[in-house]
Amino acid sequence: MKKSALLKIVSVLVSVIGFYLLINSPTLGDDAASEYLRVVMFGSMDTAGFHIMKQSFIDAYRLAGAILLGVGSFYAFRFFSKSDE
């Protein structure tokens, strides 16, 4: 397999993962906050703190998804716009 073909596949895969994280960030953030509450805090935390923590997890997933989608899309468009030599 040529190096350029492998880079195209990886860039598209990174874009898809980034899109998935971006779209599903509320669900993933809620699950992560609930898991943190259950495991680390032993199920006890005030409501305001939990909402802040949940929003932080959502923002983290959203940021990671945006970065991966941006970088993957940049390289995907770059590789697909070049003519194969």
pLDDT tens digit string along 9-49? 999 999 999 999 999 999 999 999 999 999 998 888 999 99
Measuring CA to CA, which residue among 51, 59, 55 is closest to residue 21?
Answer: 59
Task: Please say whether the dihedral angle defined by the alpha carbons of residues 44, 48, 50 and 52, taken in this order, is positive or negative.
Answer: negative
Residue 85 has pLDDT above 80, yes or no: no
Q: Could you tell me the pTM of the whole model?
A: 0.85
Task: Give the 3-state secondary structure of residue 75.
Answer: helix
